[in-house]
Structure 1
């Protein structure tokens, strides 16, 4: 018995010593790995510091007249530009000019996208901070300049710039669509209807539909499908804009030659509106009868109970014995005035994010996501009250690809029954207002 007890004690002691030895070896390996990573980071920092010192010496040796003609941050070394200049010396006007949003909105966006954009450091390199990844992508969306220029400015590779743009656009669509690009609530419908009535004099309307053409490079397949009526290649998107100029629904990724009526029929907006989703639970009253809220559309869309468009004025040219009545002309005037809402919203969108106003050289798999991301960013900036500078619109006016117009829809096969009665009801309203 004594020998068994001694053997058991010896076995326990040896097991403990082996486990302790294994733990010590693992701890030593972890410490050695951490030390290697620390030395790598220290060496990277040392090389970057040497490079910055060398660039500052080169900049200091430039003639004084050249240094005086340029802004100080232009000659700053690229590795030092983001950390020292942007984060510490940028003024509110600089944030608006370069990132098209205020500093508060920028950091709000970074926090919202952090779950998707945060990366871990590796043994070979340090991960880019979320703030720098967002800044790289916003610079691209706002200016549409080449990846090479942004690469030199932020001190990252061209492939990193491309990856930042892709990742941020997908993160915005995945994380923020449910908040900033969602179906309107009952309160949103009422507010938008009041805005259309107070500003444009058009009652019982909550949104207007329009289209956006984004110029692209020639695709490898079916390039003729992307040629629009103006003759250049584009991706066509359908947008629904509220009375406050914010986007409620965006349907992207269609070739530029697609008929807008076909896009509308294949969109979720068509299903939602047809099922009465554009009105509150209790249908509002208009001109003494129950009527759901309506949307406004251009002449290229079909006439529906929930979508009204102008009377074709060309009828009085083709049929001289038939012309528009006074109430119909008044209806067209008020509707055309209210259709300025999507025009102005798209102008502000393209002026703020010029990747949509100039030719976009990204792949066709990225452009639709980029359009959605820019619409969401537009809603974020508008809801946060960020300043919009009127001079940004000058670049859109001088853009190489102006928005083409769509031909009116001549066929009435898509028109809904009793839709003309709804339009006639609005004519009676405007005639009463006029009298």
Structure 2
């Protein structure tokens, strides 16, 4: 990757450390000593380039690989210090390092972790002085009595600074200082504390001011952040005031500076940030605002625009709630509530953009488009089932545990020829196969009961062979009059030709899933929420996919390999009722004869040997 000049100071990247940690976790070759390729320099280089590319999508300005590696090295060093030596003395009750929990995943990849007994763990500190540090985890000097004396001396210096500051306070009396009223507020809060609390709080304040004055951050951000942190030390029982201050700060930084406002003149950057253009965002905001009127009581300080930005950013990047908590200056539980509320609003606002055709003419339009684009007659849609990764639900046993060895919920969907979803069903247990999920779905029952208003049978083009309309599926489904699937196993030329033509036309559902994942990268990761919210997240992405397909058509050629491999196929296992009927076999045979006869296309012969 070509090195680029960074105009932003290093401190400006602090809010994006959470996203960097999430991206690194996706590449075990960087940190897992047991991973295949860990000692392969080329593999590591490719992994770092991928992490840099992913992190640049989150940042307001691009950085190079060296910068990302140094940032990660600093994070590991800090984590090693924080983990081995928690704050003690006057700083013990201060704020915890914000990325401590996010970095704990490294503990599972400690090469000596499983080799040390409890006794040797107790003696680890002594061992470190003689034998060096554990590879991959930065070390820090032990907290010896000498270091404690040094810290005590530092506290004495701060107390002396406080005494000097007290002597100068009188000089400010009567002056119209910009911080004069804030100083009075701080003084009043200190007066209400005990002597011990006053001493500790004043020391914490001085440490905070000293730290803020030396950190290299943007000047206007420096002062505001310091003021908010000072208020946080003092407003022990004034949470409403602090909430209002944070809301004003969030509107200025997160939405105006990092969100839509400053990007509205740059469609490309806006698209990169929220996966849509400003005009598309505004139309969506108008639709969801009407759904939020009855659901805003718990987040009155958060505007509908902010809620939509937070949710779209979550869906687009797959960032954890902890990462969004730092980016948008909101509590983790508040971010979770915002995402839950907004996903429901999106589903309700866009409910009409995912639906099956309701008349024969609408079905005929779908079929005609399939025939024009994919040279496959009488097709009403392509159907498939995919696994969506979730965390293990509580008290669920093995219901969500799939055959691949992880927990999932199954997404069943039908796509038209333009990669738009006509139908979806989400929430089936991960251990179910395609055919079982299909039978239990509302669409499966409607198809079985013949309650859908399909067009009457028609002749194949240029023939007198009259066939019904049907859907295209893979080998996981049962062959039926309304469900066409490929011949199993290796086939002779004619059957292989049918399999080729069916695979070519059925590719639309695979491409639809690929586009869905390319737009909403939350589907590339485990959804770390309860099952109910995970299902709503998937529903919201489906409706947004169709909304964006109307506004911003997506070229399937832009789908990355990673995106198409993310959603795993539901397992192909024999199920009761999967035995094909004679009429279904006859329909497939007639289609086979059509494709090797008058329905043949120029390109099929040179590709048929692959099947």
| TM-score of the pair, normalised by structure 2 | 0.53
Cα separation, partners in 2 of 1:416 and 1:59, compared to 1, 3 Å: farther
8 Å Cα contact 1:276-1:292 kept in structure 2: no
Q: Residue deviations 1:297-316, cap 9 Å, x none?
A: 111101111101011125xx
The answer to whether structure 1 residue 116 and structure 2 residue 291 are counterparts is yes
Once residues 259 and 389 of structure 1 are traced to their aligned partners in structure 2, the CA distance between those partners, rounded to angstroms, is: 27
Once residues 383 and 213 of structure 2 are traced to their aligned partners in structure 1, the CA distance between those partners, rounded to angstroms, is: 53
Cα separation, partners in 2 of 1:303 and 1:126, compared to 1, 3 Å: closer
The answer to whether structure 1 residue 99 and structure 2 residue 274 are counterparts is yes
The alignment of Structure 1 onto Structure 2 pairs a total of residues equal to 361
Partner of 2:92: none
Cα separation, partners in 2 of 1:278 and 1:198, compared to 1, 3 Å: farther
Once residues 262 and 213 of structure 2 are traced to their aligned partners in structure 1, the CA distance between those partners, rounded to angstroms, is: 19
What is the Cα deviation at residue 189 of structure 1?
2.7
Once residues 338 and 299 of structure 2 are traced to their aligned partners in structure 1, the CA distance between those partners, rounded to angstroms, is: 16
What secondary structure sits across from 1:339 in the alignment?
helix
Once residues 120 and 266 of structure 1 are traced to their aligned partners in structure 2, the CA distance between those partners, rounded to angstroms, is: 33
8 Å Cα contact 1:79-1:155 kept in structure 2: no
Q: Residue deviations 1:193-235, cap 9 Å, x none?
A: 2332233221111211111211111222234222222211111
Q: Alignment partner for residue 430 of structure 1, among 561, 577, 595?
A: 595
Q: Alignment partner for residue 255 of structure 1, among 425, 429, 436?
A: 429
8 Å Cα contact 1:120-1:127 kept in structure 2: no
What secondary structure sits across from 1:213 in the alignment?
strand
Q: Alignment partner for residue 184 of structure 1, among 340, 352, 357?
A: 357
Partner of 1:298: 474
8 Å Cα contact 1:118-1:130 kept in structure 2: no
Q: Alignment partner for residue 160 of structure 1, among 330, 334, 340?
A: 334
8 Å Cα contact 2:413-2:422 kept in structure 1: yes
8 Å Cα contact 1:278-1:294 kept in structure 2: no
Partner of 1:174: 348
The answer to whether structure 1 residue 377 and structure 2 residue 540 are counterparts is no
8 Å Cα contact 1:296-1:335 kept in structure 2: yes
Partner of 1:208: 382
Structure showing greater relative contact order (alpha-carbon pairs closer than 8 Å, 6 or more residues apart) = 1
What is the Cα deviation at residue 275 of structure 1?
4.5
What secondary structure sits across from 2:515 in the alignment?
helix
Once residues 402 and 249 of structure 1 are traced to their aligned partners in structure 2, the CA distance between those partners, rounded to angstroms, is: 17
Q: How does 1:26-65 map to 2 (within 5 A)?
A: 62=216
What secondary structure sits across from 2:387 in the alignment?
strand
Partner of 2:173: none
Q: Alignment partner for residue 253 of structure 2, among 64, 74, 81?
A: 81
8 Å Cα contact 1:200-1:338 kept in structure 2: yes
What is the Cα deviation at residue 254 of structure 1?
1.0
Once residues 59 and 202 of structure 1 are traced to their aligned partners in structure 2, the CA distance between those partners, rounded to angstroms, is: 69
Q: Residue deviations 1:378-397, cap 9 Å, x none?
A: 00000112556977736536
What is the Cα deviation at residue 352 of structure 1?
1.0
Partner of 2:45: none
What is the Cα deviation at residue 427 of structure 1?
1.2
Q: Which runs of 5+ in 1 are unaligned?
A: 1-45, 68-76, 315-323
Cα separation, partners in 2 of 1:121 and 1:235, compared to 1, 3 Å: closer
Q: Alignment partner for residue 312 of structure 1, among 465, 481, 488?
A: 488
Once residues 281 and 402 of structure 1 are traced to their aligned partners in structure 2, the CA distance between those partners, rounded to angstroms, is: 33
What is the Cα deviation at residue 343 of structure 1?
0.9
What secondary structure sits across from 1:207 in the alignment?
strand
8 Å Cα contact 2:433-2:570 kept in structure 1: no
Q: How does 1:250-399 map to 2 (within 5 A)?
A: 250-276=424-450, 280-286=454-460, 287-288=463-464, 290-314=466-490, 324-385=491-552, 393=560, 396=563
What is the Cα deviation at residue 243 of structure 1?
1.0
What is the Cα deviation at residue 109 of structure 1?
1.3
What is the Cα deviation at residue 250 of structure 1?
0.6
What is the Cα deviation at residue 149 of structure 1?
1.8
Q: Alignment partner for residue 407 of structure 1, among 551, 572, 579?
A: 572
Higher mean C-alpha displacement, 249-258 vs 273-282? 273-282
Cα separation, partners in 2 of 1:339 and 1:387, compared to 1, 3 Å: closer
Once residues 80 and 229 of structure 1 are traced to their aligned partners in structure 2, the CA distance between those partners, rounded to angstroms, is: 48
Partner of 2:413: 239
Q: Which runs of 5+ in 2 are unaligned?
A: 1-180, 186-207, 222-248, 602-611
What is the Cα deviation at residue 171 of structure 1?
1.9
